[in-house]
Amino acid sequence: MSIVIDNQRGKKVAELLYNSFSTMGIHGRTDMPEDITPNSVVRGSLDHILFITLTVSIDYQRDALSLWESSRKTFDNPETRYLFDPKLLHETPFRKIVDDMQKYKLSKKPQKDANIWRTVGVTFYTKWEGDPRNFLKNCNWDSPLILERLRKDTHLYNGRLVPDYPYLRGSKIGPLWLRMLRDNVGITQLRNLEKVPIPVDIHVARATLTTGVVRGSIEIRSNKMFEYIRKAWFESVKGLSVKNRPMIALDVDEPLWHLSKYGCSYRNKITGYCPVSNRCEAREFCIKGRIEIENSIVKLET
């Protein structure tokens, strides 16, 4: 059983994918599902921040395209618009929140998703005057501290301590939220983003493995493999620069996601044959061999 992190290969892949995504696109695309705002929302406004924050809090085991489309439809309907208002979430019966989150399929797991959504929203209402920026400011805009507070902050509910930010505190969603606050909302005050790990989902994982940045012969739990992937991108971007600043791991999140979503997803898991490789921007790095990510297990023979 062996595993290799190839940082030199990672540097080349990071540079290639970032430049491709910033210009021609990857598999012809330069957009992300969260880029489109609801009809009446101004980029950078409080409405935009709450739209991004609450939607990303239930971004687990979901198809991103359908999640963000459902969220926009929910926001655009005056009858369900209240779901994005922390004060109104606090005042609305839970049963109604459950029902209204199902109108446009915003929730896949009705009780669980509504509980996550309401808890996050009500936390911002009761502790931060309904504005996530007050929380960020209280953390001195320090990204590692924000992630730590997301994980640790709790409140008393029915006699027991429960997390303030369920799922928003997760190892994927926390960093993803910070990237969206930077890239989508346009919050420039966030500091030390270079210390934030790349948000690893199945697409970022698959693209990292198919380009050979992490490779080897191993069967391993996906959460352990994700640790290797986070380390690989922390190391690989060192010394690279974009837009007159140092490149950071978060910069390759979107390019990797696109590479997998519209490319590596079609690859044969056993042989490594990919039917779209002839038009893939990263084809020179495509590695042959077995790459399976299923049921929280990664099987690698590359």
Both tokens of 88, joined, read 């109104």
pLDDT at 169: 94
Whether residue 118 sits in one domain with residue 74: yes
**Per-residue pLDDT averaged across 120-129, rounded?**
97
**Residue of 64, 57, 96 lying closest to 80 (CA atoms):** 96
**Summary mean pLDDT of the chain:** 96
Whether residue 125 sits in one domain with residue 59: yes
pLDDT in tens, 135-153: 999 999 999 999 999 999 9
In a domain, 37, yes or no: no
Which CATH number fits the domain that encloses residue 180? 1.10.340
Reported confidence tier of residue 157, pLDDT bands at 50, 70, 90: confident
Percentage of the chain exceeding pLDDT 70: 100
Residues facing residue 3 across a β-bridge: 216
In a domain, 39, yes or no: no
Q: Give the domain extent around 245.
A: 2-30+196-301
> How many domains, the chain?
2
In a domain, 123, yes or no: yes
In a domain, 190, yes or no: no
* Torsion sign over Cα 92, 35, 237, 218: positive
CA distance linking residue 87 with residue 68, whole number of Å: 22
Q: What is the pTM of this model?
A: 0.94
In a domain, 272, yes or no: yes
Whether residue 52 sits in one domain with residue 173: yes
Where does a domain end: 135, 164, 185? Answer: 185
pLDDT at 243: 86
pLDDT in tens, 181-236: 999 999 999 999 999 999 999 999 999 999 999 999 999 999 999 999 999 999 99
In a domain, 35, yes or no: no
CB-based burial label for 60 (10 Å; 0-12, 13-18, 19+)? middle
In a domain, 57, yes or no: yes
